[in-house]
């Protein structure tokens, strides 16, 4: 068992230092798939955050009960439960988002981020810390895919969240909302994010000296 980590650092960890998309590069399938629009990205991020918080909390509660050998199936069962919840809630209250996210809602079950946090954090830490970790990770994920979505939607349609920004004169660059554009924009934002983080790390290292 590690020492009890500080909650604030656990929370920030997921947003910046171990951002699931930009630093851990986990859950790339939904990242590419749902970032063609900001609304979709936020919806996906919110759904994933909800599942992360819930599953981290429950798994952390059960961490001393779950036998080590069958932990993965147990995690999956917990995660499945929350995903099913999300799916039903979305279907009931935001059917349009449910329709546009489609297959990617049930696929949250196998999202690497959620399983990875269950394995790496929730199974070793207390329930409160785990829930905070899930929240941090979820927000980090949401922020990351939102940034990608803004770039893609803006270039690909001239809008953000459906609201026209560039006006009618803009000729949208269709490729950015297609799959190849998704990879390109993801790669570029990943690169830029890494440059920024490396710079700030270097700065910190210099200050520490």
Partner 1 sequence: MSLHVSIAPHVHSKDSTATIMRDVLIALLPTTLVGVYCFGLNAALLCVLGVAAAVLSEYAYQKLTGQKVRINDLSAAVTGLLLALNLPGNAPWWMPVVGSFFAIVLVKQLFGGIGDNFMNPALTARGVLLASWPVKMTAWYLPTFCKGVDAVSTATVLGGYEASAMDMFLGFIPGTIGEVSKVAILIGFAYMLLRKVISWRIPVVMMASFALCAALFGMEQDMVTSLLSGGILFGAVFMATDYTTCPMSPVGQYIYAVGCGVIIAVIRKWGSYAEGVTYGILIMNIVTPLIDKYVKIPVYGQEKAKKEAKANA
- What DSSP letter does each residue of 129-178 carry, written as one string? HHHHHHHHHHHHHHHHHHHHHHHHHHHHHSEETTEESS-TT----GGGGS
Least separation in angstroms between CB 148 and partner 1: 16
Q: Check residue 62 for interaction with partner 1 (CB under 8 A).
A: no
Residue 37 or 138: the one with the smaller Cβ distance to partner 1 is: 37
* Angstrom distance (rounded) from CA 3 to CA 157: 49
Dihedral, 11, 17, 23, 29 alpha carbons, nearest 10: 10
Least separation in angstroms between CB 174 and partner 1: 5
Q: Check residue 159 for interaction with partner 1 (CB under 8 A).
A: no
The residues in 167-196 that bind partner 1, with binding defined as CB under 8 A, are 171-176, 178, 180-181, 184, 188, 191
* Angstrom distance (rounded) from CA 133 to CA 69: 24
HSE at residue 123, side-chain half, CA atoms within 13 A, is: 18
Dihedral, 51, 21, 107, 184 alpha carbons, nearest 10: 150
Residue written as token pair 């919110």: 46
Residue 25 or 192: the one with the smaller Cβ distance to partner 1 is: 192
Using the rule CB under 8 A, give the single segment among 37-45, 66-74, 144-152, 165-173 that binds partner 1. 165-173
Least separation in angstroms between CB 177 and partner 1: 10
Residue 97 or 148: the one with the smaller Cβ distance to partner 1 is: 148
Using CB under 8 A as the binding criterion, the count of chain residues that bind partner 1 stands at 12
Long-range contacts of 70-74 (CB under 8 A, 24+ apart): 71/119, 71/123, 72/115, 72/119
Least separation in angstroms between CB 155 and partner 1: 9
Residue 30 or 181: the one with the smaller Cβ distance to partner 1 is: 181
Tokens of 87: 């799916």
Residue 128 or 179: the one with the smaller Cβ distance to partner 1 is: 179
Chain contacts with partner 1 (rule: CB under 8 A): 171-176, 178, 180-181, 184, 188, 191
């Amino acid at each position: 068992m590690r020492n009890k980590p500080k909650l604030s650092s656990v929370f920030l960890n997921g947003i910046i230092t171990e951002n699931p998309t930009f630093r851990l590069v986990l859950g790339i399938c939904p990242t590419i798939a749902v970032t063609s629009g900001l609304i979709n990205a936020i919806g996906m991020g919110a759904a994933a955050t909800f599942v992360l918080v819930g599953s981290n909390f429950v798994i952390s509660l059960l961490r001393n009960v779950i036998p080590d050998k069958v932990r993965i199936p147990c995690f999956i069962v917990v995660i499945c439960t929350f995903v099913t919840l999300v799916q039903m809630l979305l279907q009931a209250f935001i059917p349009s988002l449910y329709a546009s996210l489609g297959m990617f809602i049930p696929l949250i079950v196998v999202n690497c981020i959620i399983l990875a946090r269950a394995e790496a954090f929730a199974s070793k830490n207390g329930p409160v810390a785990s829930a905070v970790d899930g929240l941090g990770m979820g927000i980090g994920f949401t922020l990351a895919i939102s940034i990608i979505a803004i770039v893609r939607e803006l270039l690909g349609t001239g809008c953000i969240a459906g609201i026209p920004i560039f006006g009618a004169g803009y000729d949208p660059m269709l490729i950015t909302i297609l799959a190849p554009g998704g990879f390109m924009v993801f790669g570029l934002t990943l690169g830029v994010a890494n440059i920024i983080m490396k710079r700030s790390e270097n700065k910190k290292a210099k200050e520490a000296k």
